[in-house]
A and B are shown apart, each in its own frame.
Chain A
Amino acid sequence: MATDYATLKKGGFMRQKQKDHFSLRLSVVGGQVDAKQLAAITEVADKFGHGYIHLTSRQGIEIPFIRLEDIDEVKAALAEGGAKPGVCGPRVRTITACQGSEVCPNGCIETEKLARELNDRYFGQELPHKFKFGVTGCQNNCLKAEENDLGVKGGVQVSWQEDKCIQCGVCEKVCREGAVTIADGKVTVDQDKCNYCGRCAFSCPTDAYDTTPGYLVSFGGLFGNHINKGEEMLPFITDKETLFKICDAALSFFKENANAGERFKFTIDRIGKEKLQEKLNEAYDKKR
């Protein structure tokens, strides 16, 4: 029987140069792998592979040198530890994420949770070409949001609360955008300059800023044969419902318009940015 490489690839089995060997890509969400999964992965790498794993550029784990005839046994062994193969090919790929506000002092949003939600909604969805989501928790951009077809960057919208302020001046100093000015006992935040990094609020000794977490979304990033920085096309988004609506709109635009093997960026260029903008605006306005 001829080997169905397309199906194997869909299931995360990457054909190696070495005949009948595969580098098995595992499903990882937001870069989190638990100890039980690690134990199963270790066992599989030892027993069926060459005793090592490869960490991919997008927070994935691959187990190289898995032999074709062992595939079923390997899948079963992984399943026991709660691990499973990932995907390759023309579909929604691994959702990457930094650790976000649950762990990181700079984090503005719960990236892990969002990555899992995006994963549940979109992972593996069939498309004309690969489609990558990445979630980063703040402007430090450890997760490089703009490298992705759709990048989500966390931020906070701030509002100064006069009654709590002690006029210490820390917020004006920590703002890297020159958005905060203090004059005559009043703090002004220039919303045009503000980049939602939250440094003013996080460093405020008396928590004299109200904060609303939210998302900045970029579209059309890619970092392979061609390189393009994803572009922010919408204002700050403060609710997750709207974020998902926007993701839905971007994916359906891609699905409806892309040629096979064409990345999102090139579909946007060919069809016209204004057409995507229309769809995004619709999704953005729907919930307001």
Chain B
Amino acid sequence: MEELGFTVDDTVDITDVVCPVTFVKTKVALEELEDGQILDVHLNDGEPVQNVPRSVKDEGHRILKLTDNGDGTYELYVMKVGD
């Protein structure tokens, strides 16, 4: 696996749910983290990858990276901002 340059503190899989639960699940996972910790969101291609990053950004968190797994799923790395 490619070097990320940061350490993941928690992981959430949202490939088993659809909008808007995708974002809800992500939000809940972020709530359990401390400011500055990093969440790895495992998500599907299509609507989730189009909408979840923007929703996360609009909530004020910092997106560090999005990687394509090549199997129709992605990893979105988010740093939690604020408590």
Contact = CB atoms under 8 A, between A and B. Distances in A.
Interface of A: 105, 166, 168-170, 173-174, 176, 199, 202-206
A205 B68 contact: no
Contact of B50 (A166, A174, A206): A174
Interface string B44-70: 010001100110011000111111100
A105 B65 contact: no
Nearest to B67: A169
Given A203-B53, A205-B53, A170 B66 contact: yes
Nearest to A105: B58
21 contacts: A105-B58, A168-B63, A168-B65, A169-B66, A170-B49, A170-B53, A170-B54, A170-B66, A173-B50, A173-B66, A173-B74, A174-B49, A176-B50, A203-B50, A203-B53, A203-B54, A205-B53, A205-B57, A205-B62, A205-B63, A205-B64
Contacts of B64: 166, 168, 205
B65 A203 contact: no
A173 B51 CA distance: 10
A169 B77 CA distance: 12
A266 B65 CA distance: 53
A173 B73 CA distance: 12
B14 to A, nearest CB: 15
A169 B63 CA distance: 11
Nearest to B63: A205
Q: Which of A170, A173, A174, A204 has the most chain B CB atoms inside 10 A of its CB?
A: A170
A168 B77 CA distance: 9
Nearest to A106: B54
What are the 3 A-B residue pairs with the smallest beta carbon separation, nearest first? A205-B63, A203-B54, A168-B66
B41 to A, nearest CB: 12
Interface string B21-51: 0000000000000000000000001000110
Contacts of A199: 50, 54
Contacts of B65: 166, 168
A204 B56 CA distance: 11
Nearest to B65: A168
Nearest to B54: A203
Contacts of A105: 58
A174 B51 CA distance: 8
A105 B66 CA distance: 22
